[in-house]
Amino acid sequence: MMDYYLFPLDYNFYPSYIFLRTFFDHIFLTIRYLIHDPKTGQTAAVDTPCAAAYQRELERRGWTLTHIFNTHKHHDHVGGNQELKSEGVKIFGPASDGNIPGMDVPLKGGDKVSFAGSDAEIIGQYIPIPARIVII
């Protein structure tokens, strides 16, 4: 699919790039995301419907998964969590949705998440799915 290089807003503070890899999930027919920081070695998956697609891409890139960010509990967003969860992988998701498989860190609006040497703020979003989070 596509590779993107994302630069943090405060480039002087953190002079590195973050690598965003999009790939196609042939089971759910959607585009999926891996975010990798070469400086810290951290890699995050955003929603995980199918573990096989992520495992294949991680292996191809030589990356090790460290974070899973789930936006909400629908199966097409959390179906691969348990299979992808291994030692060192933390699963983050909305606190109001306690049914996310393997969730380690429940999040709500105003919380902060550290990834790739930066903190991201959690914004609660209530439409169209009540238990959904947005990470910025």
Give me the CATH number covering residue 114. 3.60.15.10
Residue with structure tokens 């630069």? 7
The range of the structural domain enclosing residue 37 comes to 3-135
CA dist., res. 27 & res. 107, Å (int): 28
Which residues are CB-neighbours of 59 under 8 A, at least 6 positions away?
none
What is the reported pLDDT for 64?
A: 95
Q: What is the mean pLDDT of residues 20-42?
A: 74
Please report which residue ranges of 1-136 form alpha helices under DSSP H: 51-61, 75-78, 81-84
How many domains does the structure of the chain reveal? 1
What is the reported pLDDT for 27?
A: 62
Q: What is the mean pLDDT of residues 110-115?
A: 88
Residue with structure tokens 């799915």? 129
Higher pLDDT, 136 or 121: 121
Residues 46-73 pLDDT 10s:
888 888 888 988 998 899 999 999 887 7
Distance (Å) of CA 61 to CA 3, 10, 29: 12, 27, 21
User: Phi, psi (5° rounding) for residue 51?
Assistant: -65, -35
Cα-based angle 100, 101, 102 (whole degrees, multiple of 5): 115
Residues 87-104 pLDDT 10s:
889 999 888 877 889 999
Neighbouring C-beta atoms of residue 115, cutoff 10 Å: 19
Strand arrangement, sheet containing 112-115: 112-115, 118-125, 132-135
Residues 21/3, Cβ–Cβ less than 8 Å? yes
Lowest mean pLDDT across 2-6, 42-46, 50-54: 2-6
What is the reported pLDDT for 67?
A: 96
